[in-house]
């Protein structure tokens, strides 16, 4: 939802640059992330406030603009009506995204604007995951347990059998290309890979490989000395993690000692 706002990138960059930093990269990263958590909480409160109230306000402003245009079809009223219409569409889109993120459901297929469906998912958390009623695609309430089960099966069957399974991969590649252009740093294809579930079909694997140019990888593998596994991490998997920041600090101290020793070895009259 935040990324839909036109000020998001500029404000996020400003907040990131304003965060504290040290000479130690890992410590700087931790401090910046902690700062950004507070920054985004306040930013969300100031920018979006209450999403539902934003929709109601946008609807009222649209009705006023529509009434003004009906009474006087001037160019000024026409422009105000267009602005109000765009604001209303934007607020509805933000509300839909809000309920997508609020629910447990990972949205796998774009195009469904049934906000009440997501609302039912989110509210299920407050009912200990017990759903007693849900609206179908036509908006009619369904409270029979067997009918509710059928709706869930039909919905997820449709989502998981979507033919457009590469849309998110294509969006990822657009982001990577934009990153390369903005940063000047090229993605190393030879060191990149993608990982799928072991039961994923070969056609999906070929499609992703064709779009990304990356080979298919497999778990487990190591990244920055830490094992990435498909099970719960053990102490063996994370053994190298605490040593990494210690190594950076130790290397910095060793380098400083070498510089001091070299300077002390110079004659005093130099």
User: Of the candidates 199, 210, 240, 236, which has an alpha carbon nearest to the alpha carbon of residue 223?
Assistant: 240
Query: Which is higher by pLDDT, 244 or 26?
Result: 26
pLDDT band at 243 (very low <50, low <70, confident <90, very high): low
Give the N- to C-terminal CA distance of the chain in Å, as an integer: 63
Q: Is 8 left (phi over 0), alpha (psi -120 to 50) or beta?
A: alpha
> Percentage of the chain surpassing pLDDT 90?
1
Give residue-wise pLDDT tens across range 34-54: 888 888 888 877 777 777 777
Determine the pLDDT at residue 251: 52
CA distance 54 to 151: 31
Give residue-wise pLDDT tens across range 129-181: 567 778 877 778 888 888 888 888 777 766 555 555 677 788 888 888 888 88
- 249, pLDDT greater than 80: no
Say what the pTM is: 0.31
CA distance 48 to 46: 6
Mean pLDDT in residue range 62-83 = 87
178 phi and psi angles, rounded to 5 deg: -65, -40
216 beta partners: 194
What does DSSP assign to residue 74? -
């Amino acid at each position: 939802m935040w990324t839909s706002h036109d000020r998001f990138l500029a404000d996020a960059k400003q907040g990131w640059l304003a965060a504290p930093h040290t000479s130690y990269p890992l410590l700087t990263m931790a401090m910046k992330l902690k700062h950004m958590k507070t920054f985004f909480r306040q930013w969300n409160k100031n920018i979006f406030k209450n999403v539902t109230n934003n929709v109601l306000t946008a609807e009222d402003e649209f009705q006023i603009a529509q009434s003004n245009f009906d009474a006087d079809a001037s160019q000024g009223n026409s422009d105000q009506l267009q602005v109000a219409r765009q604001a209303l569409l934007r607020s509805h889109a933000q509300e839909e995204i809000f309920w997508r993120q609020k629910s447990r459901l990972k949205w796998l297929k774009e195009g469904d604007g049934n906000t009440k469906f997501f609302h039912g998912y989110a509210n299920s958390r407050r009912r200990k995951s017990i759903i007693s009623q849900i609206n179908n695609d036509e908006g009619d309430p369904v409270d029979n347990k067997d009918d509710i089960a059928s709706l869930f099966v039909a919905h997820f069957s449709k989502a998981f059998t979507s033919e457009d399974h590469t849309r998110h991969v294509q969006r990822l590649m657009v982001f990577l290309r934009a990153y390369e252009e903005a940063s000047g740093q090229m993605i190393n294809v030879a060191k990149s890979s993608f990982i799928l579930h072991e039961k994923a079909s070969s056609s999906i694997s070929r499609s992703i490989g064709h779009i990304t140019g990356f080979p298919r990888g497999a778990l487990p593998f190591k990244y920055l000395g830490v094992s990435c596994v498909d099970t719960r991490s053990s102490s063996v998997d994370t053994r190298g993690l605490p040593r990494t920041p210690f190594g950076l600090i130790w290397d910095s101290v060793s380098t400083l000692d070498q510089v001091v020793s070299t300077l002390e070895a110079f004659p005093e009259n130099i």
